[in-house]
Amino acid sequence: MTRVYNFSAGPAAMPIAVLERIRADIPDWNGTGMTVMEVSHRGKAFMETAAKAGQDVRDLLGINDDYSVLFIQGGATMQFSMAPLNLAAVGQTVDYVQTGSWSIKAVAEARRYCRVNIAADSADRKFTYIPPASEWQLDPDAAYVHYTPNETIDGVEFHFIPQTAGVPLVADMSSTILSRPVDVSRFGIIYAGAQKNIGPAGLTLVIIRKDLLEPARPDIPSLLAYRIYAESDSMTNTPPTFAWYVAGLVFEHLKNEGGLESVGRRNQRKASKLYAAIDDSQFYSNPVQPDCRSWMNVPFVLADPALDSRFLAGAGQAGLTNLKGHRSVGGMRASIYNATSEAAVDALIQYMREFERRNG
Ligand SMILES: *Cc1c(COP(=O)(O)O)cnc(C)c1O
């Protein structure tokens, strides 16, 4: 078996223990003589699997009964529409904090339905920092405040939870969910596409405070209404059963690893050593203000961009894949989500030093 060290931004690396479990469950899942993708979502076997996944993610994140946990399709991008359509009445203002490529997309979608107030924006320094909360211009009458705790493309991350004076806080946690403990009670809605830190693409986790379930616009399509999912245990129509099952295996795996405290410590260690390697060199650099650097996505550039393709080719030969930076940013990006091991980060650092020695 050959497994590479995968630094993909998404869909991203999966834990090997989970992949082996999936393989063991094919073609006979739990003695059913079928795989999980061949059974009814309303049958007992799948219902139990689905419910256990929901309970495990509640346990991991410490989610209490004030919240519904929903499993939805459409990706995080569909949440860019669902949040405004469910939370804001026609003509109502919504606050957005614009800190990079994904929040820009969220803003563009919200503008289709709402008056968007950009409460803070870090475009002036190319999205390399988080504007200090003291400078935000929040609208006290906003339906909600939306922000992107981790900007996957720009590699900036909030290391604080914004205060919103009672206005519901909505967070796109696609690329940071389950990377460490988080106080869910501070949020109105947390949403995350699965393909970074949860499981296969096709599934979106939504954690929503129950008082926000009633849509502010009664005429939205039912499949875009949070309430419909909450009332049907996310089985309004056929859910992405295989992705849900795999997400459940990942939740179980994280519990076995000691939960989010220990996962978070490991993630912090991985990020610190990679940033230290970048900062200690004259050859690599990361543009992000140090106190806003992401634990999950680490962009960096080489002193001479003409060496980029040689760097990537050598990395590939060393079994280090998907390091090319996003086309909008250039350079490199190492995504080091939960399933990218410390050994992978060590191997990357070793390769970077070696490459610098030969080419720097
Ligand atoms: C990947 C990503 C998205 C888009 O997710 P889709 O599932 O492709 O819609 C949105 N926001 C953030 C922060 C992401 O990392």
pLDDT at residue 142 is higher than 90: yes
> What's at 49, amino acid-wise?
T
Write out the residue range of the structural domain in which residue 298 sits. Answer: 5-15+258-359
Burial class (CB in 10 A: 0-12, 13-18, 19+), 150: buried
Omega of the bond leading into 11 within 30 degrees of 0 (cis): yes
216-245: pLDDT as tens digits = 998 999 999 999 999 999 999 999 999 999
Whole-number Å distance between alpha carbons of 229 and 299: 37
179 belongs to a structural domain:
yes
Instruction: For a ligand 1 pocket test, name from 102, 146, 296 the mutation site with the most ligand atoms within 8 angstroms of its C-beta.
Output: 102
Q: Is 29 a catalytic residue?
A: no
**Residue 210 forms beta bridges with which residues?**
none
Q: Which residue's CA lies nearest to atom 13 of ligand 1?
A: 174
Residues 244 and 275 occupy one common structural domain: no
Ligand 1 centre and the CA of 77: distance in Å? 6
Same domain, 305 and 246: no
Task: Clarify whether residues 163 and 82 are in a common domain.
Answer: yes
Question: 154 catalytic, yes or no?
Answer: no
Of 236, 256, 276, which one is at a domain's C-terminal end?
Answer: 256
* DSSP codes of every residue in 250-309: HHHHHHHTTHHHHHHHHHHHHHHHHHHHHHT-SSEE--S-GGGB-SSEEEEEESSGGGHH
Can you tell me the mean pLDDT for 103-115? 97
Question: In this structure, are 71 and 205 located in the same domain?
Answer: yes
89 and 216, same structural domain?
A: yes
Once rounded to an integer, what is the mean pLDDT over residues 287-314? Answer: 97
Q: What is the CATH number of the domain that holds 241?
A: 3.40.640.10
Is the pLDDT score of 1 beyond 80?
no
Of 29, 102, 136, 295, which one is the catalytic site residue? 102
- Ligand 1 centroid from CA 360, angstroms: 35
Q: Quote the CA–CA distance of 330 and 281 in Å, as a whole number.
A: 19
248 with 313, same domain: the answer is no
Residue finishing a domain among 207, 233, 256: 256
d(CA 300, CA 287): 7
Taking a C-beta distance cutoff of 8 angstroms, is the pair 176, 149 a contact? yes
Q: Cα(336)–Cα(333) distance, rounded to whole angstroms?
A: 9
Q: In total, how many domains does the chain have? A: 2
Q: Write the DSSP symbol of residue 145.
A: E
CA separation for the pair 136, 98 (Å, rounded): 11
pLDDT digits (tens, 9 = 90+) for 187-203: 999 999 999 999 999 99
249 and 264 fall within a common domain: no
**Structure confidence at residue 360 (pLDDT):** 81
Give a yes or no: residue 281 inside a domain. yes
Report the nearest atom of ligand 1 relative to the CA of 10.
Answer: 1
* Residues 283 and 337 placed together within one structural domain of the fold: yes
- 190 C-alpha vs ligand 1 centroid, how far in Å? 13
Confirm whether 21 is domain-assigned.
no
Average pLDDT value for residue range 141-162: 98
Cβ atoms of 331 and 325 within 8 Å: the answer is: yes
Find the length of the chain. 360
State which of 226, 256, 286 marks the end of a domain: 256
Say whether both 304 and 209 belong to one domain: no
- pLDDT band, very low/low/confident/very high, at 328 (cuts 50, 70, 90): confident
Asked whether residue 23 is domain-assigned, the answer is no
